[in-house]
């Protein structure tokens, strides 16, 4: 496992099913560990960098900012896996719908802290409006 502090190893109980031949490690689910070799925290940093740059650039950025070497192929696999989860999550558009009763009749929007200087009008002799219709 590779995390924000580098590579580490830990032992945990694993269970083997003789019927389906699958190996289970219940603690992995509790810790949020998937099939990848990155910790959830490092995977988040890798995905943030991968969306801003190429996979090679993301690998260099993670090494420079966190100090952990993540191979370019691992960046690609991690970004692809998370992208697949996002696609799957967003595929069901019915989950996005808001009930009509929850939609307000009027939506008020207030802007605060934005200053905009009025446009300066040029006099006619400086190339401003000619006054013609």
pLDDT tens by residue, 7-38: 878 788 888 888 888 888 887 777 766 666 88
| Cα distance between residue 69 and residue 59, in whole Å | 7
Give the per-residue pLDDT at 57: 95
Which of helix, strand or coil describes residue 62? helix
| Cα-only R_g, the chain | 27
Please answer whether residues 37 and 1 qualify as being in contact, where contact means their C-beta atoms are separated by less than 8 angstroms: yes
Give the per-residue pLDDT at 130: 53
Give the per-residue pLDDT at 96: 78
Give the per-residue pLDDT at 42: 92
Into how many domains does the chain fold? 1
Entry pTM? 0.57
Q: Is residue 78 part of a domain?
A: yes
Give the per-residue pLDDT at 116: 64
Q: Is residue 105 part of a domain?
A: no
Q: Is residue 32 part of a domain?
A: yes
Structure tokens at 58: 């993301």
Give the per-residue pLDDT at 48: 94
Residue spans of the chain under pLDDT 70: 32-36, 113-133
| Cα distance between residue 114 and residue 96, in whole Å | 31
Range of the domain at 74: 2-85
Structure tokens at 50: 């991968």
Give the per-residue pLDDT at 47: 94
């Amino acid at each position: 496992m590779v995390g924000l502090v580098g590579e580490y190893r830990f032992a945990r109980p694993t269970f083997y099913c003789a019927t389906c031949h699958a190996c289970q490690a219940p603690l992995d689910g509790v810790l949020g560990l998937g099939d990848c070799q990155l910790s959830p925290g490092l995977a988040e940093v890798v995905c943030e960098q991968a969306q801003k740059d190429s996979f090679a650039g993301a690998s260099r950025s993670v090494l420079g900012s966190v100090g952990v070497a993540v191979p370019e192929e691992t960046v690609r696999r991690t970004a692809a896996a998370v992208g697949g989860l996002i696609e799957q999550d967003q595929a069901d558009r019915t989950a996005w719908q808001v009930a009509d009763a929850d939609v307000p009749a009027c939506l008020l929007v207030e802007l605060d802290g934005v200053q905009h200087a009025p446009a300066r009008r040029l006099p006619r002799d400086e190339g401003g409006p000619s006054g013609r219709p």
